[in-house]
């Protein structure tokens, strides 16, 4: 029997702070279900490898890259599917989440009085503690293209957590997605990332739409708990726009500061009352990815660097990582042109 986790808007937490900025917060019911379920499944030996304490270091520099060594993920994980198109159709003959061991399921999430269900299962090749997958009703056999429901529950799961280190992300096809079956990733990372408080400039603030001023060129949405529905719809409009134009993309959802022109200070710098959603349009990468390589997907763009071999981990510098990441992003002129198109697109009711 699958555990049912039912939540409502009243369960959203709007006063979350970075660790060390306030007294420790009790785990929310969502965190308890996720952490306990994940740990129990690992203890029962269902993962491809045990996740021990990962060797971690923060690279010197303004970006604050968090590098981690996870060799087993590169060796033991399931071979990724060969991706040939951003709009590739779902193929029931390939691996999909209807073929998993039912014991890998943590729970089924539903929101009171709303349709739709989200299956939460462990990623048996984890990159960090609590690494799970959010799969909208897998029997719908949806390809790896975002829907409003997937975006909305992804944002809501961040609001349900009392841990500011809980993150959610999405890789489109052509942006290093490994399985063509709609899913998002969720995991805990006990390190602050620069993009949580980096300056963002308004593009269409009435749509919650901004641009990351520094770091890697990205579009940013910001939402408080009261505007999740509205912002989710606008994110879907942007990702649909990208899909129809065959532009690969990665998303990263994290607790973050409200929109500001410069880095906040004082209590503002520790407050994480809202959620920032980063959207990186990027160059497409097709075929099967090399698992031991430094593949630039949602984590790497966000500043969390999972390395799968010691040579890359030991030799990484902020300069070398930034150089690699920049090769996967759109040139500045293409990004600016896309920005103008998206502002116009969102301005249409």
Using DSSP's 3-state secondary structure scheme, residue 91 falls into coil
For the record, the structure tokens of 231 come out as: 């912002």
**Look-up of token digits 């759109």:** 330
Nearest to 146 by CA among 134, 130, 159: 134
Taking residue 144's Cβ as centre, other Cβ atoms within 10 Å add up to: 24
The pLDDT of residue 15 is 82
Give me the pLDDT at residue 53, please: 86
Query: Which pLDDT score is estimated for 103?
Result: 98
Catalytic residue among 183, 185, 249, 304: 183
For the chain, 349 residues long, the average pLDDT of each consecutive 10-residue run is 96 79 74 98 95 93 96 79 90 96 98 96 96 98 98 98 96 96 97 94 96 91 96 98 97 89 52 91 79 82 95 96 96 97 93
Q: Is 183 a catalytic residue?
A: yes
Q: Which CATH architecture has domain 4-347?
A: 2-Layer Sandwich (3.30)
Judging by beta carbons within 10 Å of its beta carbon (0-12, 13-18, 19+), is residue 321 exposed, middle or buried? Answer: buried
Half-sphere exposure of residue 282: CA atoms within 13 angstroms, side-chain side: 31
- Supply the pTM of this predicted model: 0.94
Secondary structure E strands in the chain: 4-7, 55-58, 66-69, 105-111, 118-122, 132-136, 166-171, 184-188, 200-204, 209-212, 219-223, 248-256, 274-282, 304-307
């Amino acid at each position: 029997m699958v555990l049912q986790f039912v939540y409502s808007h009243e369960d959203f937490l709007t006063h979350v702070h970075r660790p060390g900025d306030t007294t420790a917060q009790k785990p929310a019911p969502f965190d308890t279900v996720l952490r306990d379920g994940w740990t129990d499944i690992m203890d029962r030996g269902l993962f491809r490898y045990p996740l021990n304490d990962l060797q971690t270091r923060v690279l010197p520099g303004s970006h604050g890259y968090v590098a981690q060594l996870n060799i087993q993920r590169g060796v033991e994980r399931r071979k990724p599917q060969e991706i040939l198109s951003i709009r590739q159709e779902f193929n029931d003959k390939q691996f999909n989440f209807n073929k998993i061991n039912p014991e890998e399921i943590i729970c089924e999430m539903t929101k009171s009085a709303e349709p739709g269900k989200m299956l939460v299962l462990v990623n048996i090749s984890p990159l960090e503690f609590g690494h799970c997958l959010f799969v909208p009703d897998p029997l719908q056999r949806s390809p790896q293209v975002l829907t409003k429901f997937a975006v909305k529950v992804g944002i809501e799961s961040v609001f349900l957590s009392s841990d500011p280190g809980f993150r959610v992300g999405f890789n489109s096809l052509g942006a290093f997605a490994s399985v063509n079956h709609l899913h998002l990733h969720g995991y805990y990372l006990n390190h602050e990332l620069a993009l949580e408080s980096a300056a963002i400039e308004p593009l269409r603030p009435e749509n919650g739409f901004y641009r990351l001023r520094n770091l890697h060129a990205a579009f940013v949405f910001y939402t408080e708990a009261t505007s999740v529905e509205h912002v989710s719809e606008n994110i879907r409009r942007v990702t649909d726009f990208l899909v129809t134009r065959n532009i690969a993309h990665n998303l990263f959802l994290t607790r973050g500061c409200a929109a500001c022109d410069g880095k906040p200070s004082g209590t503002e710098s520790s407050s994480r009352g809202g959620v920032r959603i980063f959207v990186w349009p990027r160059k497409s990468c097709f075929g099967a990815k090399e698992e031991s390589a430094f593949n630039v997907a949602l984590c790497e763009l966000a500043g969390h660097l999972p390395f799968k071999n010691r040579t890359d981990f030991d030799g990484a510098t902020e300069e070398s990582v930034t150089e690699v990441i920049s090769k996967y992003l759109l040139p500045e002129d293409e990004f600016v042109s896309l920005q103008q198109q998206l502002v116009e697109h969102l301005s249409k009711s």
